[in-house]
Amino acid sequence: MLSRNETLMGAGDVIVNARLTVVPGKPSPSGKVHKLSYFDHLMQKHYCKAVFYFDTSSVEDRASIIPSLKESIFSGLSVYPVFAGRLHKNQDGQWEVKFNDSGVRVYEASCTLSMQEFFDSPHYGPIESELSRLEINDDSTITPVLVVQFTEFKCGNIAIGLCWHHGIGDPLCATLFMKAWGETHRGAQVLHPPFFHPPTFQPRPQSNLDVQSRAYYSSIFNKGGEDNGSCEEYQSLTLCFSHETVEQLISEVENGSCKFGPPTPSDVLSAMLWSAVSKAQGKSKGDEAKASLCMESRKIHFPPLPYGYVGNAIHFSRMSFPMEAIEGNDLSQVARVVNESVGMVDSEEVKSVADLMRDMENEGRVVIRDPPLFYSDGLTIAIFDHFFCYDVLFHFGKPVRVSYAVLPVKGDGHIIIVPAAEGQSSRNVMVTLRKDVMHRFLEDSELARFLPSMGGKDVL
C-alpha cells in the first residue's frame, strides 16, 4: 500500500490515445424524436458514470479486443439509437432527443497501472474518474449524450467506461444498453429491447394529496433550481463486501426487527455505512441522522414497466433515525428504518411525483424547466443491488467489477450499493464523502471489524 509521501497517482496514470465519433450501423428514421418524461427532466442537471472492469487474461489475442468493441458498438447503437442523438429544447421549452445519428464520443486510453494495482491504490477515486470522460459544450446540440471510453491497463485487462446525460436515462438504462451491446457483439438476441413512453409516467387528472412523496418532493422543489456554488472537496472509494461478511452482518441484526420481511443485504449495509457516516460527521446523542433514499422503480409501478424502459425510473424519499438508536453499535433499529423506507415506496408514491410537478407548473413554478439538484439533500443512499451488470457478456467474458457514480456531488455525499461479481449476498459499495468526513469514516470501529483490510487505509 502506498503512503501519503509517495508520488500522487491520478489523472497522469490514464493517458488518452485517441478520440473519435461512432454512429449507429443502421440509420434512424428521419425526424424521429424522443420526448423526455417529467422524471427525466428532474435529472437534467446531472450526469452518470459507470465503469465495467474485465479480466481478459484468458483471451489469446488480447490486442483484438478493443478493435472488436469499436466495431460492434455500431450494432449496439442501432438497438439504442437514443444514445447517438442530441438533446434540444422543443417549442414548449422541454427537452427531447433528436434521433439524428450524430453519434457517441469514443476515447481510447491506457493506464500505467495493472488493474489490481489500481484496485489496491489509495488513489482509486481520482484514477477511476478518468476512466469515464465527461464532455459538456455550451451548445447541447453538439454535446454527445453518451461518451464511451476503452482503457487498457498495464496488465492487458480493460475497462469500459460510460458517461451519459442523466436526463436520458438512469443507471439501469445504461446498464441494459451495455447488456444489449454485449448481445449484439456476440450475435445473440437482445433480451431487454428498449421501451419508450410509458403512459403511467404522465400526470393523472386527479392528484393524490395523501402521500409522503408529495411533502418530500415539495421541500426539494422549494429549494429552487439554483446551485449555491459551494465547492466542497470530496473523496471516493469502493468497499467490497463478501457474501460471508454480509451474512454475518445480517445475523447480528435483531431477528424480527424489520417490517417488510427479513433484513436484506442492502438494509444492513445501508444501516452500517449510514451509521458510520453519521458518527464521522460528529453527530452524537440527541442528534438526528437524516438521509435520502434513492431507488430504481420499474417494478414498483403498477402495471410494472419492462426493464428495457428508456428513461429515469428512480424515486427519492427521506429517512432518519435518532443517534441513540446506535448505542452499543446495535444496527437493528437503523436496518428497520431502511427496510420500512424501501417497503413503503409503492406505485402511488412514485406516480404522485408527476402529479405534483404538473400542479406546481400550473401555479407558475418552473420545476420542469429549472429543477433543483437531486442527490444533494444530505447523504444520498442509492440501492441499485438488483442491476443486471454481471449479465453484460462480450466474447471475452463478463465484468469482474462494476462501479457507478452521479455528478455533480453535492450535500453530504453518496452511498451507492450494487451487486458484486461473487453473487449471492456480496455487494460492492461506492462511497463518496467530504474529505474530512471520509478520513473519520475510515477509522470507524464497526467498519474495521467487517472490513479489517480497511484499517488505516489512506484515500487520496
How far apart (Å, rounded) are the C-alpha atoms in residues 298 and 201?
11
Considering the domain architecture, whether residues 148 and 183 belong to the same structural domain is answered as yes
pLDDT band at 225 (very low <50, low <70, confident <90, very high): low
How far apart (Å, rounded) are the C-alpha atoms in residues 405 and 402?
11
Of 10-19, 44-53, 204-213, 270-279, the poorest mean pLDDT is in 10-19
**Residues of the domain holding 18:** 11-198
How far apart (Å, rounded) are the C-alpha atoms in residues 250 and 253?
5
Considering the domain architecture, whether residues 187 and 216 belong to the same structural domain is answered as no
Per-residue pLDDT tens over the stretch 79-133: 999 999 999 999 988 999 999 999 999 999 999 999 999 999 888 889 999 999 9
Give me the pLDDT at residue 2, please. Answer: 25
Give ∠ CA 315-317-320 in degrees, rounded to 5.
155
Give me the pLDDT at residue 328, please. Answer: 85
Give me the pLDDT at residue 123, please. Answer: 82
Considering the domain architecture, whether residues 139 and 152 belong to the same structural domain is answered as yes
Give me the pLDDT at residue 1, please. Answer: 24
Does the pLDDT at position 229 exceed 90? no
- 1 belongs to a structural domain: no
Residue range 41-55: average pLDDT? Answer: 97
Give me the pLDDT at residue 228, please. Answer: 52
CATH code of the domain containing 155: 3.30.559.10
Q: What region, left, alpha or beta, does residue 103 occupy, with left being phi > 0 and alpha being psi -120 to 50 degrees?
A: left
Considering the domain architecture, whether residues 364 and 352 belong to the same structural domain is answered as yes
pLDDT band at 4 (very low <50, low <70, confident <90, very high): very low
- 121 belongs to a structural domain: yes
Give me the pLDDT at residue 9, please. Answer: 37
Give me the pLDDT at residue 199, please. Answer: 67
Considering the domain architecture, whether residues 106 and 158 belong to the same structural domain is answered as yes
Does the pLDDT at position 209 exceed 60? yes
Considering the domain architecture, whether residues 109 and 190 belong to the same structural domain is answered as yes
How far apart (Å, rounded) are the C-alpha atoms in residues 337 and 339?
6
Q: Return mean pLDDT, the chain.
A: 91
- 403 belongs to a structural domain: no
Per-residue pLDDT tens over the stretch 378-411: 999 999 999 999 999 999 999 999 999 999 999 9
Residue finishing a domain among 198, 219, 254: 198
How far apart (Å, rounded) are the C-alpha atoms in residues 388 and 384?
10
Per-residue pLDDT tens over the stretch 289-347: 999 999 999 999 988 999 999 999 999 999 999 999 998 888 999 999 999 999 999 99
DSSP state of 46: -
Per-residue pLDDT tens over the stretch 161-190: 999 999 999 999 999 999 999 999 999 999
- 146 belongs to a structural domain: yes
Considering the domain architecture, whether residues 186 and 233 belong to the same structural domain is answered as no
Considering the domain architecture, whether residues 176 and 252 belong to the same structural domain is answered as no
Give ∠ CA 423-178-349 in degrees, rounded to 5.
75
Per-residue pLDDT tens over the stretch 417-448: 999 999 999 999 999 999 999 999 999 999 99
Considering the domain architecture, whether residues 164 and 136 belong to the same structural domain is answered as yes
Residue finishing a domain among 198, 232, 257: 198
Count how many domains the chain has: 2
Are 85 and 34 in contact by the 8 Å Cβ rule? The answer is yes
Helices and strands (H, E) in the chain, number of each type? 12, 15
Q: Name the most confidently modeled range: 7-11, 189-193, 196-200.
A: 189-193
- 137 belongs to a structural domain: yes
- Percent pLDDT > 90 in the chain is 80
- 401 belongs to a structural domain: no
Cβ-in-10-Å burial (0-12, 13-18, 19+) of 363 comes to exposed
pLDDT band at 197 (very low <50, low <70, confident <90, very high): confident
Residue finishing a domain among 181, 198, 215: 198
Residue 314 host element (H or E): strand 314-322
- Of the candidates 2, 237, 234, 239, the one whose C-alpha atom is nearest the C-alpha of residue 113 is 2
Considering the domain architecture, whether residues 151 and 30 belong to the same structural domain is answered as yes
Does the pLDDT at position 19 exceed 60? yes
Give me the pLDDT at residue 121, please. Answer: 86
3-state secondary structure at position 384:
coil
Residue 277 host element (H or E): helix 265-280
Query: pTM here?
Result: 0.94
How far apart (Å, rounded) are the C-alpha atoms in residues 297 and 383?
11
